[in-house]
Amino acid sequence: MLSKPVGPTGFYNLSATTGTHYAVTFNSTPGLTGDYQDSGIQQLPATKVRIAVAGQPAVINFGNNKTASNNSDLLQPPGTVEHYKLESTTTVTYQLVGNGSGGYISITPVA
Which range has the worst mean pLDDT, 5-9, 16-20, 26-30? 26-30
In a domain, 4, yes or no: no
Provide the residue range defining the domain that includes 96: 10-109
In a domain, 76, yes or no: yes
CATH number at residue 38: 2.60.120
Q: Looking at residue 82, what is its pLDDT?
A: 95
Please give the Cα distance from 18 to 91 (Å, whole number): 12
In a domain, 3, yes or no: no
Q: Looking at residue 87, what is its pLDDT?
A: 85
CB neighbour list of residue 10: distance below 8 Å, 6 or more residues apart? 21, 106, 107, 108
Q: Looking at residue 15, what is its pLDDT?
A: 92
In a domain, 88, yes or no: yes
In a domain, 32, yes or no: yes
Q: Do residues 105 and 95 make contact, with C-beta atoms less than 8 angstroms apart?
A: no
pTM assigned to the model: 0.81
In a domain, 51, yes or no: yes
Please give the Cα distance from 36 to 16 (Å, whole number): 25
Please give the Cα distance from 41 to 12 (Å, whole number): 22
In a domain, 91, yes or no: yes
What is the tens place of the pLDDT at every residue in 37-86?
Answer: 555 555 677 889 999 999 999 999 998 667 777 777 899 999 999 999 99
Q: Looking at residue 70, what is its pLDDT?
A: 75
Please give the Cα distance from 63 to 76 (Å, whole number): 17
Mean pLDDT of the chain: 83
**Considering its fold, how many domains does the chain have in total?**
1
